[in-house]
Structure 1
Amino acid sequence: MNKVIYALLFLLTPFLLRAQSGNSFGMYHPQDTVGKQDLVGLFKNTFNVTPNPLKAQPEKSVYFSFLPTSSAVPGGGRALITTTTAGFYMGERENTNISTVTFTPYFNFTGRFGIPLRSNVWLSDNKWFIQGDTRFLVYPQYTWGLGGNPAQDHKMMVEYKYIRVYQSLLKRITPYFYAGLGYNMDYHIQIEAEGHSDAAANLHQFSGYPFGTGSQNTLSSGVSLNLLYDTRNNSLNPLPGCYSNIVYRYNSPVLGGNTRWQSLYVDMRKYIPFTHDNQQNMLALWSYYWTTLDKGVPYLDLPSIGWDFYNRSGRGIQQNRYRGEALAYLEAEYRRDITRNGLVGFVLFANATSVSEANSRQFKYIHPAGGAGLRLKFNKGSNTNIAIDYALSRGNSGFIVGLGEAF
């Protein structure tokens, strides 16, 4: 048990890191891209594409990145995925972070598809921050029940439609610190376990969990209190700095939900450079703790690996593999350029996950995963990379392709 306690303390080490003075934690201004290379520029040079010069308007520039690929999706199988990101500035670059919008629709030929749209918008001078996450998903997806040690073959396929609407508005209180309110809705529709409409006789019996397993629809609707401290300049490819996000959520039938429940999500990240030249050579640390605060949380809304706010945690672990009333997570990634022009780079990463056991707050098991990846600079203007990762854990492995860094 002592080993578990020590390991969990290690999981939460980024929570204990204190801010330091210097450039590592001040706003990191965009680096000069002269001499840098990306795939967009490589394409123009190769095919002699010379567009007509336009009058420079940096405050209105929009940097698009587009990546079509076929990749594994949660629940097994593969799908056609297209990822489009747009990076743009809503104010002067010297005092305004780059805003991003990411659209990642996917589908296969068996009736499965998803339409997620995420946005992080910084208004002029970073006075306001607007965050959005809207999704419509059609899922068949495996679930392994509750707790940190379910057998790999102890799983059940659950089909459902899912609508998520998360919107928040935060105001700058002091430099880099923001506070605000949000609205969160999770709507799971037509929940069917193992192809049967009687979800209560299947999912309830399989999971042993009484909430959200006895009906075909669950609706959680609530308000959130959001606290944010962010010294990064670019969320697509963070430069040296740190990030802290605390979200308290209160759900109530008054807002249209089925049940009343509360949760807390604490996300901490730190980016440590080893050099201060124009080369990528950095250690990135990420940890989050996600917990329910009372009973009544629907089964599909419980903390689960891969269901963090950006669906980026647990590379190498199947989404939903571990679910509980509380979840602790830690990941470390080393990022390094291979070529001096920034076109090609690599990463090495490792992560660990632990969830609470059923009907208790005890953490008994820790599940590691890790891997390596290649980075290709797609657009140097927004510092967007094509990320090609190979990740593995006990009983699972595979490639992950996408735009932007995992965190």
Structure 2
Amino acid sequence: MIVVIKKKNLTTICTTIILIAFSNFNISAQTTKDSIKEHPIKSIADVFKKRDSIHIIKPLKNNFFLIIPIIGSQPSTGFSYGMVGQYTFKGKNLKDKFSSLNLGATFTEKKQVILNFKNSVMLKQNKYFLNGDWRYYIFSQDNYGLGTDIIPPSNRDSNFDLDDLKEPMDYNYFKLHQTVSVRIKNNYYAGAGIHLDWYSNIEDEDLDIDKGIYTKYYNYNNKHGYNESEYAVNGISFNFLYDSRDSQINANNGMFANINYRINPAIDKDNQSASNVLLMEYRCFFPMSQYNMQHVLSFWTFGQFVTSGNLPYLNLPSIGWDQRSRSGKAYTQGLFRGQRLVYFETEYRFPISNNQLISGTIFSNFTTVSDADRNIHIFQYIQPAIGIGLRILIDKATRTNLIFNYAMGRHSKAFYLNAGESF
């Protein structure tokens, strides 16, 4: 969930987070083995338990079910509300890794319906890895054109207004991406997947051909021969990945690397032409303390490249459309779009309270996107962002956190409420 924050509230938000962190909790400059014993780990559930029951040692559960409400507001949805449920589980073997199933439904005052089902599942003692992203949207989204040069390189340009660039659009979107991988040896996996993307009932609101008013969406699709009201991009993929993370829910060490090559055959000249897309992703996690697992320095980067053929406008690589919809914090989903995209994010996670109930983060990211039609290359223009966040531990066994992030970019800022880490 994203809540857009006005500029005048920036100082208040930052001050509040700092006061919460430094006034209400005992922050030790250096976490030691003795302090961990003195302050046992507590989740939000422990806060409401009787004091005597907290010290009773109970076996950790192999599963955890969480339901949280979604309440927020942003320009593309207006007021939104809904519910998301997450089921986290693992096998009885000590080496089994936690898996997660996530189902969410959101409704908005603009009569939008957003349904999501995500799965990241390890089976048979981590031998099989299932990874899926299923969605159905009755949606509206503003388009801003291709490339990362659409925003000036400095916030000092007071005359620039991002709203002047937006071109509103309504459409329905069905997505089914599911891969299945088999462990080859140790942490190495190989597999295949199916990818279905179908866009229908597309209405480009600013387009008026009779009056000679053309949009960026129409110009791109018309140039590359796509039907502007409906199209599909369906194909298969082959993937190779490495996963040594200690947890898929909240990793403290290890790394994840994935190479996915998608082949989209030509099915219908009006609705789908042939194309190939390469996705490369890398995440790594470095523990910064031998006693407190919440001290973690993490990195996340991915690149998505159209290697041959063309994709319709809405299916081009863009921020905010990764599996968790967490990329591009500080910027509106779909703001940066193009034939080639590179994204990088780094985050330092640290404890605030000694009992690890409350923790914090500082992070930064950058995005660069190409526009082949204007001969703009990746890394020619880069859009950065920085942010801070708070974490509340809601389950000790799975290390699941409730997350509050505030991010600032160029001429853009936003507040995020989520369950589970960004990556």
Q: Please give the range of the TM-score, normalised by the shorter of the 2 chains.
A: 0.7 to 0.9
The whole-number CA distance in structure 1 between the counterparts of 2:321 and 2:101 is: 19
Contact 1:239–1:271 (8 Å) recurs in 2: yes
Contact 1:315–1:369 (8 Å) recurs in 2: yes
Structure 1 residue 104 displacement after superposition: 2.2
Contact 2:79–2:109 (8 Å) recurs in 1: no
- Deviations 1:298-356 (Å, cap 9, x if unpaired)? 11110111122321111101111111100011111010011122100000000001001
Query: Partner of 1:392 in structure 2?
Result: 408
Structure 1 residue 35 displacement after superposition: 2.5
The whole-number CA distance in structure 1 between the counterparts of 2:241 and 2:330 is: 28
Structure 1 residue 197 displacement after superposition: 9.7
Query: Partner of 1:183 in structure 2?
Result: 194
Query: Partner of 2:292 in structure 1?
Result: 278
Structure 1 residue 44 displacement after superposition: 3.3
Contact 1:145–1:207 (8 Å) recurs in 2: no
- Deviations 1:90-131 (Å, cap 9, x if unpaired)? 341x22110101112111132112010101110122111111
Contact 1:146–1:207 (8 Å) recurs in 2: no
Contact 1:142–1:156 (8 Å) recurs in 2: yes
The whole-number CA distance in structure 1 between the counterparts of 2:225 and 2:119 is: 29
Query: Partner of 1:118 in structure 2?
Result: 118
One-letter code of the match for 1:110?
K
Matching of residue 37 in structure 1 with residue 77 in structure 2: no
Structure 2 counterparts to residues 76-91 of structure 1, below 5 A: 76-91=77-92
Structure 1 residue 209 displacement after superposition: 6.0
Contact 2:331–2:414 (8 Å) recurs in 1: no
The whole-number CA distance in structure 2 between the counterparts of 1:217 and 1:260 is: 16
One-letter code of the match for 1:388?
F
Contact 2:394–2:401 (8 Å) recurs in 1: yes
Query: Partner of 1:68 in structure 2?
Result: 69
The whole-number CA distance in structure 2 between the counterparts of 1:362 and 1:162 is: 29
Structure 2 counterparts to residues 229-240 of structure 1, below 5 A: 229-240=242-253
Q: Secondary structure at the match of 1:278?
A: coil
User: Cα gap change, 1:82/1:175 in structure 2, threshold over 3 Å: closer, same or farther?
Assistant: same
Contact 1:106–1:115 (8 Å) recurs in 2: yes
Query: Partner of 2:235 in structure 1?
Result: 222
The whole-number CA distance in structure 2 between the counterparts of 1:198 and 1:43 is: 62
Q: Secondary structure at the match of 1:300?
A: helix
TM-score by length of 2: 0.81
Contact 1:83–1:102 (8 Å) recurs in 2: yes
The whole-number CA distance in structure 2 between the counterparts of 1:255 and 1:228 is: 32
Which of 323, 330, 349 is the aligned partner of 1:309?
A: 323
Which of 256, 263, 269 is the aligned partner of 2:277?
A: 263
Structure 2 counterparts to residues 128-207 of structure 1, below 5 A: 128-150=128-150, 152=162, 153-194=164-205, 202=215, 204-205=217-218, 207=220
Structure 1 residue 195 displacement after superposition: 6.8
Query: Partner of 1:11 in structure 2?
Result: none
In structure 1, stretches of 5+ residues that fail to align are 1-30
Structure 1 residue 69 displacement after superposition: 3.1
- Deviations 1:263-318 (Å, cap 9, x if unpaired)? 00000111111111134111111111111012221111101111223211111011
The whole-number CA distance in structure 2 between the counterparts of 1:157 and 1:41 is: 46
User: Cα gap change, 1:370/1:288 in structure 2, threshold over 3 Å: closer, same or farther?
Assistant: same
Task: Give runs of ≥4 in structure 1 deviating > 3 Å.
Answer: 55-58, 195-209, 211-214, 253-257
Contact 1:65–1:379 (8 Å) recurs in 2: no
The Cα RMSD (Å) is: 2.9
One-letter code of the match for 2:241?
L
Q: Which has the larger radius of gyration?
A: 2
Contact 2:206–2:215 (8 Å) recurs in 1: no
Query: Partner of 1:345 in structure 2?
Result: 359
Structure 1 residue 233 displacement after superposition: 2.6
Structure 1 residue 62 displacement after superposition: 1.9
Contact 1:269–1:287 (8 Å) recurs in 2: yes
Which of 373, 377, 394 is the aligned partner of 1:362?
A: 377
The whole-number CA distance in structure 1 between the counterparts of 2:358 and 2:204 is: 45
Contact 1:168–1:182 (8 Å) recurs in 2: yes
Contact 2:136–2:175 (8 Å) recurs in 1: yes
Matching of residue 401 in structure 1 with residue 401 in structure 2: no
- Deviations 1:46-97 (Å, cap 9, x if unpaired)? 8x999xx9x9795xx32012221312457353311422211101341x2211
The whole-number CA distance in structure 2 between the counterparts of 1:156 and 1:146 is: 12
Q: Secondary structure at the match of 1:64?
A: strand
Contact 1:212–1:299 (8 Å) recurs in 2: no
One-letter code of the match for 1:250?
I
In structure 2, stretches of 5+ residues that fail to align are 1-35, 152-161
User: Cα gap change, 1:85/1:197 in structure 2, threshold over 3 Å: closer, same or farther?
Assistant: farther
Matching of residue 376 in structure 1 with residue 377 in structure 2: no
Matching of residue 288 in structure 1 with residue 299 in structure 2: no
How many residues were matched structurally?
369
Q: Secondary structure at the match of 2:326?
A: coil
